[in-house]
Amino acid sequence: MRTVITPVAALIRVALRRFFRDRTALFFTIIFPLIFLFIFGGLFGKSNNVSFNVAVLNHANTPFATNFVAQLKKSKVFKIKSSVHTIEQGTTLIDEGQMDAILVLPPSFGALSPTGHIPTGTLEVYENASNTQETPVLTSVLQSIFGQINNTLKPYTPPFTVVTKTSIQGYVVSPFDYIFSGLLGFSILGLGIFGPTNAFPELRKQGILRRLRTTPLSSAMFITSNAISYMLIGVISLGIMMAIGILVFHLNMRGSYLLLVPFLILGVFELFGFGMAIGGWARSQQEAAPLTNIIVFPMMFLSGTFFPTYLMPQWLQSIAQYLPLSPVIDGARRIITQNSAPAALLPDIGLMALWCAVIYVIAFRVFRWE
């Protein structure tokens, strides 16, 4: 046993030193995924509170209108552009995407009705009709505000109501919480495949693998030592991403780290097998590059890395769920966002184990020392 452990441990140390001295490997394995993390964190890591940039043109000289505008300014939902004084100015800003709408209070807004002696009025909203996402939301928010005001001024009992009998405990998952698992998968994909496909053809070109062949090392010992070294590098890289996700973008980690860490390590081990199969077979990086792209790009775009798989057609979802990266991202997402128990991850772990068995048999068979 010692004759196996000692050379494997030595190879692990050599592989780690080689990796941390390689600036290109450091960039694409650690820095490059962090760039994507900051990009998507900036896009999806903001607060989930709905807010609108609007201009308010108050043409009404009524106490109710004055109070209404004051309440809008205090609200966190509306960000008032005080520099806009005409509809033409506001229209220009809306066309440029700097503002969402113009709220116009006509002269009669807030005037007392002749019969009920309560304030009445109609709020005029100017907005971009082509914005089919924010327009209904803004209208719904304004209707909700006026609904509360109307009920205060003239309470009534609606003839039909809905009563919730059962409360189902659920989770509020922010867009960043959802996309973060895909970013972890992207990092594992780059570490497991791009790392060995770039490193081993270069070692073969330099004759290092040829010299190692003259030693008592077997291909299994060499592959195993490199797999362990890449798993250790993966722990460092993924740990940095987790720290930034939590401290900078306020990732809501609901699951257990004791479950997430070994699960992701298994993911690194699985994807490394694909990188080892390509890097161990290809004589040069020119041979490795086409095979790498054929394997990487389908997983990158079909495994839920950057967008949910449920947006794809059903037939494509049926294929994508069996890709090697899919169980890694799906399982990590369940741990992070749903606090899933180990039993719920068994299908993902089983598929990952199956891929490991298949790809490592291939990697051992196609590995070339020269």
Q: How confident is the model at residue 49 (pLDDT cuts 50, 70, 90)?
A: low
Lowest mean pLDDT among 162-171, 204-213, 304-313: 162-171
Mean pLDDT of 326-347: 91
pLDDT value of position 175: 81
| H helices, E strands: number in the chain | 15, 6
What is the predicted pLDDT for the residue at 332? 93
Q: What is the pLDDT of residues 255-291, one digit of tens each?
A: 899 999 999 999 999 998 898 888 888 777 777 888 8
Residues in the chain: 370
Distance CA 2, CA 19 (A): 26
Give dist(CA 202, CA 283) in Å, integer.
9
Report CA 284 to chain centroid distance, whole Å.
34
* 54 SS3 class: strand
Buried b vs exposed e over 144-175: b needs ≥16 C-beta within 10 Å?
ebeeeeeeeeeeeeeeeeeeeeeeeeeeeebe
Which of 140-144, 234-238, 281-285 is least confident?
Answer: 281-285
Quick one: pLDDT at residue 129? 67
Buried-exposed string 53-79: b where 16+ CB fall within 10 A, e elsewhere: ebbbbbebebebbeebbeebeeeeebe
Q: Where in the chain are the domains?
A: 2-45+174-366, 52-153
Cβ atoms within 10 Å of 118's Cβ, excluding its own: 12
Tokens of 355: 């891929």
21-30, pLDDT tens digit by residue? 777 777 777 8
CATH number of 52-153, picked from 3.40.50.300, 3.90.79.10, 3.40.50.2300, 3.40.1710.10: 3.40.1710.10
Q: How much is the pTM?
A: 0.70
Instruction: Give exposure, 339-349, as e/b (b: 16+ Cβ within 10 Å).
Output: ebeeeebeebe
Torsion from C-alpha of 363, 276, 230, 13, nearest 10 degrees: 80
322: its two tokens: 């069996």
Per-residue pLDDT, 290? 84
Q: Which of 64-78, 110-124, 149-163 has the highest mean pLDDT?
A: 64-78
pLDDT value at residue 157: 64
Residue entry with tokens 């294929």: 319
Strands 78-80 and 52-58: parallel
Mean of all residue pLDDT scores within the chain: 82
Task: Tell me what the mean pLDDT of segment 133-146 comes to.
Answer: 75
pLDDT at 158: 63
For residues 19 and 227, what is the distance between their CA atoms, to the nearest angstrom? 13
Crossing angle (nearest 10°) for helices 219-247 and 346-366: 140
Segment 206-218 mean pLDDT = 76
pLDDT of residue 116: 62
Q: Indicate the helix (H) or strand (E) that contains 61.
A: none
N-term to C-term CA, the chain: 28
pLDDT of residue 24: 73
Selection from 98, 59, 62, 106 nearest residue 81 by Cα: 98
Q: Are 60 and 110 in contact (CB under 8 A)?
A: yes
